[in-house]
A and B are shown apart, each in its own frame.
Chain A
Amino acid sequence: MAGTAHAAAGALLSALVLAPGGARAQQAALTMAVGAPVTSLDPHYHQLSPNNAAASMIFDRLVNTDHQSRMVPGLATEWRVVEPTVWEFKLRPGVRFHNGQEFTADDVAFTIARVPNVPNSPSSFAIYTRPIREVQVVDPLTIRFRTEMPYPLMPMDMSNLFILDRQTHEGAATEDFNGGRAAVGTGPFRVVSHRNGDRIEFERNDAYWGDRPAFARVNYRMITNDAARTAALLAGDVEFIDQVPTSDLAKLRGDQRVALSEATGMRIIFLGLDHMRTDASPFVTDNNGQPLPRNPLKDVRVRRALSLAIDRHAIVDRVMEGAATPSGQYLPAGIYSHVPGLEAPRADPDAARRLLAEAGYPQGFRIQLNGPNDRYINDSRIIQAVGQMWTRIGVRTAVEAQPWPTFIGRAGRQEFSAFLVGWGSNPEGSHPLRNLSATWDRERGWGASNRGRYSNPELDRMIEQALSELDDAKREKILQDAQRLAMEDVAIIPLHIQTNIWAMRRNLAHTARADELTRAQDVRPAAAATSR
């Protein structure tokens, strides 16, 4: 390890002394540390970012996603709708699994059949296979999926499923993957060894069909303690870390030995409000502490006032130390169905006070803002800052932060009047809309995380319309209109979108990903980066 660090330092030094770009750091191995443990190498066991990151080093999907979460050809080279309810995927020829088995349409059929049948899955991938009524293998390199209704999200669903081999994985259990025997895919790396919750060792798959990774060997360690992970990087024990704590950002930015890479993520941090009650809301009172007869949060003017009171730029600047983007909608810019021109509202306390007065609360009222203290980056600091800003427009705010399990249980039972939560989105407007702002409906699975119980029939109708529109451009338009409607009605109060931050030794470069995945194929020597 020390030898690697020395070699790296030497390469860096010579690169500085000699002509820039002249000396290329020749490094065969990479040691990286991630903050969240990989819980399994079975790619269909648990929908969790760390697992998906490891899986996308070993396996491929029919549709891969690039660093901005755009869909790009993976094991499928093209896909199209052949009938309104039939999708056809053309598969990549000449692809082989790590053990030499050939990849064919039959392996895709096997994968689709396996996904819903993984025992004890804590968070199943079956939602991505459920719309498929019938799988038809047309020829070894063509496969068709028949659905009941027109289903535009099929390619996106396929970008979540890692493809296995029928010959290798028939009957393979999750334990076989964790032991390494069954961890055989078509991806850029093969597994050498795996110690659960501690480290995975990879070596490069030299027969990979796509871009060849820069490193022949990768040591993928899991260091969950933030301070320990940062310290390991500074000490040179590891060369690359993810989930850099914002309180360490200032120090790392000033450190000559370290470079940072960042990408706007897909996780929106927002405030939910009690839309359910028309009478008294549990944590809203008048200025003397007496319950109000009506829930002021039902009035859109009050909701707008609360949103306008918030200085999102101050929160991003002072609380998040720049590691976030202020937001006025569900999705970040550059993502499909992001609404152009819908900016984060500028703080305007005077306008907010006027709106409150118009709504009949010239003296404001009292409210309690709840939130977690261990789930999102700086969560309890954010709600205190919002508390300051609301108090300044006359809405005297008490702030209460709780551990996540307690908090989210109570939020799910509609116990709060106002609360902070986050949502990691898929790159498609229907995903946050359907989960966060559609009318709650257990049967349909809509509004599953709509904890304020916002309900707007017009919005529901638009989401429904979008979900059966196969034309991407038309669907995008409907989704943008739907999001605009939800934001005008202040269904939620968006605050900011978190930035994903990685840190590495200065001799490395990294393509930062919007989807939070930390993968070795995105890391390369810095000299190679400048030549690109």
Chain B
Amino acid sequence: MSSTTLGAAPVPAVPPKIETPFHRFVAEFAASPIAVGALVVFAIIALVAILAPWIAPQNPYDLAVLDIMDGRLEPGSVGGTGITHWLGTDDQGRDMLSGIMYGLRISLTVGAGSALIACLVGASLGMLAAYAGGRTDSAIMRLVDLQLSFPAILAALMILAFLGKGILNVVIAIVVVEWAYYARTVRGSALVERRREYIEAAQCLALPTHRVIFRHLLPNCLPPLIVVGTMQIARAIALEATLSFLGLGVPITEPSLGLLIANGYEYMLSGKYWISFYPGIALLVTIVSINLVGDQLRDVLNPRLKK
């Protein structure tokens, strides 16, 4: 491994061609057409989620525009309000297409938000453990072991039982169950990096500790962190969907994908498949595309996997 994997490093020692590390990264990523396709799909999903309030046929969270008489309409039906429900409606008369768009917003916000916070918390603690060593290291890593030995969904359920429902509490629960992954990853690579010459050099220059950690150590631990982060976003989205499916996440009048699936699954046997099916597909596509991107990132950023 060299210090040239990401842009934060100084000028490469021997530039073979006119290529920045970023260019090389892009070229290596683009080597897999599947990953590029997944990235495009994810970009579309993200765009739909961001633009939902402007492009959705209906505001599915406004009770005043919902009509129970439009409940459980088949895909393609026209409701009493004149809207064509391309993906049908749920039991409350909510347009499924709009519901999925808004649901994606929640999924991505919770996924990205909780992954980011968990990353900040986990990376800081992992870095601290690696740099401080000794008792601090042991204490933090035992906490990580404890956290990882708990099934994530069980831990999240307990936290939500304690904190109560609500989207913010879901984020907190996900952060609590996921920070440990980041901490362990960062500590691992920081322990390796810490013994390298450039860190020793920085320490010899008597640079302040925080500068050594944040300017020298952290940037070189980023690649594995990015990989773990991508995967954890997908995990966080799945966890939010699970918690909402169990009725512990979002309020029932503002359903996310998990709650939309939960609302519909009782009607599955009655042949009203669309209430659960389409949100399920949306969730599946989102998570798969993130995972495919993450896989390729891991291949590109991890030199050990290079042929």
Query: Taking beta carbons and an 8 Å cutoff, which residues of A are in contact with B?
Result: 227, 230, 245, 247-251, 311, 314-315, 318-319, 373, 380-381, 384-385, 387-389, 391-392, 396-401
A249–B62 Cα gap in the complex (Å)? 29
A57–B131 Cα gap in the complex (Å)? 75
**B92 x A248 contact (CB < 8 A):** no
Secondary structure dominating the interface of A: helix
**A399 x B270 contact (CB < 8 A):** no
Residues from chain B with Cβ under 8 Å of A392 in the complex = 64
**A388 x B67 contact (CB < 8 A):** yes
Residues from chain B with Cβ under 8 Å of A397 in the complex = 63
In angstroms, how far is the closest chain B Cβ from the Cβ of A307? Answer: 17
In angstroms, how far is the closest chain B Cβ from the Cβ of A172? Answer: 42
Q: Is B266 an interface residue (CB 8 A)?
A: yes
On whether A384 and B269 interact (CB within 8 A), knowing A318-B69, A318-B71, A397-B63, the answer reads no
**B64 x A391 contact (CB < 8 A):** yes
**A314 x B68 contact (CB < 8 A):** yes
Q: Nearest 3 A-B pairs (CB), nearest first? A: A391-B63, A247-B266, A391-B64
In chain A, what residue has the closest Cβ to B72?
A: A318
Residues from chain B with Cβ under 8 Å of A318 in the complex = 68-69, 71-72, 91, 93
For window 23-82 of chain B, which residues contact chain A by CB distance below 8 Å? 62-64, 66-69, 71-72
In angstroms, how far is the closest chain A Cβ from the Cβ of B307? Answer: 51
**B270 x A247 contact (CB < 8 A):** yes
A265–B20 Cα gap in the complex (Å)? 76
In angstroms, how far is the closest chain B Cβ from the Cβ of A22? Answer: 36
A315–B69 Cα gap in the complex (Å)? 9
A397–B251 Cα gap in the complex (Å)? 13
**A399 x B253 contact (CB < 8 A):** yes
Q: Is B247 an interface residue (CB 8 A)?
A: yes
Partner of B92, one of A373, A384, A396: A384
Residues from chain B with Cβ under 8 Å of A396 in the complex = 63-64
Residues from chain A with Cβ under 8 Å of B269 in the complex = 227, 230, 247-248, 251
**A388 x B266 contact (CB < 8 A):** no
In chain A, what residue has the closest Cβ to B263?
A: A381
Report how many residues on chain B are interfacial, defined by Cβ distance under 8 Å.
21
**A398 x B253 contact (CB < 8 A):** yes
**B68 x A380 contact (CB < 8 A):** no
Q: Is B267 an interface residue (CB 8 A)?
A: yes
On whether A388 and B92 interact (CB within 8 A), knowing A248-B269, A251-B271, A318-B68, the answer reads yes
Query: Taking beta carbons and an 8 Å cutoff, which residues of B are in contact with A?
Result: 62-64, 66-69, 71-72, 91-93, 247, 251-253, 266-267, 269-271
A182–B149 Cα gap in the complex (Å)? 51
A516–B188 Cα gap in the complex (Å)? 63
In chain B, what residue has the closest Cβ to A314?
A: B68
In chain A, what residue has the closest Cβ to B66?
A: A388
Beyond contacts A318-B72, A380-B252, A384-B252: 13 other A-B pairs, Cβ-Cβ < 8 A, are A230-B269, A250-B271, A319-B71, A384-B92, A385-B92, A388-B66, A388-B67, A388-B68, A388-B92, A391-B62, A398-B253, A399-B253, A401-B247
Residues from chain B with Cβ under 8 Å of A387 in the complex = 63, 253
**A388 x B71 contact (CB < 8 A):** no
Partner of A248, one of B63, B69, B251, B270: B270
Q: Write 15 A-B pairs (CB below 8 A) sorted by A numbering.
A: A245-B266, A248-B270, A250-B271, A315-B68, A318-B69, A373-B252, A384-B92, A384-B253, A387-B63, A388-B92, A391-B62, A396-B63, A400-B251, A400-B252, A401-B252
Residues from chain A with Cβ under 8 Å of B69 in the complex = 314, 318
Residues from chain A with Cβ under 8 Å of B93 in the complex = 318, 388
A459–B113 Cα gap in the complex (Å)? 56
**A398 x B270 contact (CB < 8 A):** no
In angstroms, how far is the closest chain B Cβ from the Cβ of A44? Answer: 37
Partner of A250, one of B66, B68, B253, B270: B270
